[in-house]
């Protein structure tokens, strides 16, 4: 089956890994997501994945004023590495080739991020999970996802969230909020829409990388997005 893209970067929030548990891992749900991604890779798709750390730690939000911002962000980076290890093992149990690369040295956890190696791994059919965010505090995992997407020359970023697209307002608070099928980067920035943070959105715009925002609650949505079906909201192109 043909896909609309050859190589993609999938960004998954840490909260999504927790499912209804609120924290930790919902392995039944994670397995469904991994099965869907593996089936697409088996059909020739090249995949890199960035995972947030919100199922363990949400940076300065969880620091509650007691943990300095730099330390809080570094704790969040470590949480993303834990998530990458867990998801990598699920992939391997399903028979997929998967590797963890980290933004900084963590001996025994994963190899240090290397752009050329990650591309070679993906071309060889491996799923590469990028842990540690960007490796620097003050940058979100959304920004890290766009950065890695630009570096590996991804055709698109699949932003898997707990909402089914980009809305004119918060649909949980405003029942008249309208979902966009597509929207430009400039409008997202001008209207301060909650897609990604400003740094991530600007970086995607500068590198002309489309971002497809969709709900991960139904893992098969990943395949639908890859087919080019009208799922969620396309930002950029």
The DSSP code sequence of 53-109 is -TTT--THHHHTTTS-HHHHHHHHHHHHHHHHHHHHHHHHHTT--EEEEESS-BTTT
**Domains identified in the chain and CATH numbers:** 7-235 (3.40.1160.10)
Predicted confidence (pLDDT) per residue in 151-191, tens digit: 999 999 999 988 889 998 888 889 899 999 999 999 999 99
d(CA 199, CA 139): 8
Q: Which residues of the chain fall below pLDDT 70?
A: 1, 59-60, 62-64
pTM of the model: 0.93
The pLDDT of residue 148: 98
Closest to 215 measured CA to CA, from 228, 224, 202 = 224
């Amino acid at each position: 089956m043909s896909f609309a893209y050859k190589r993609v970067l999938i960004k998954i929030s840490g909260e999504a890994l927790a499912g209804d548990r609120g924290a930790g891992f919902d392995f039944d749900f994670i397995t469904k997501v991994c099965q869907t991604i593996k089936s697409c890779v088996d059909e020739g798709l090249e995949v890199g994945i960035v995972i947030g750390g919100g199922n363990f730690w949400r940076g300065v939000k969880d620091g509650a004023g007691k943990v300095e911002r730099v330390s809080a962000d570094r704790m969040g980076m470590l949480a993303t590495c834990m998530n990458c290890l867990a998801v990598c093992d699920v992939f391997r149990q399903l028979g997929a080739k998967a590797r963890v690369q980290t933004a900084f040295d963590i001996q025994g956890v994963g190899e240090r991020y290397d752009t050329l190696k990650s591309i070679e791994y993906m071309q060889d059919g491996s799923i590469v999970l990028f842990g540690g965010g960007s490796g620097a505090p003050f940058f979100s995992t959304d920004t890290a996802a766009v950065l890695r997407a630009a570096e590996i020359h991804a055709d698109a970023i699949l932003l898997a969230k707990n909402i089914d697209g980009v809305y004119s307002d918060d649909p949980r608070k405003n029942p008249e909020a309208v979902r966009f099928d597509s929207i430009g980067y400039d409008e997202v920035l001008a209207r301060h829409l909650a897609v990604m943070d400003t740094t991530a959105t600007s970086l995607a715009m500068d590198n002309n990388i489309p971002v497809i925002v969709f709900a991960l609650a139904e893992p098969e949505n990943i395949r639908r997005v890859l087919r080019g079906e009208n799922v969620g909201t396309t930002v950029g192109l």
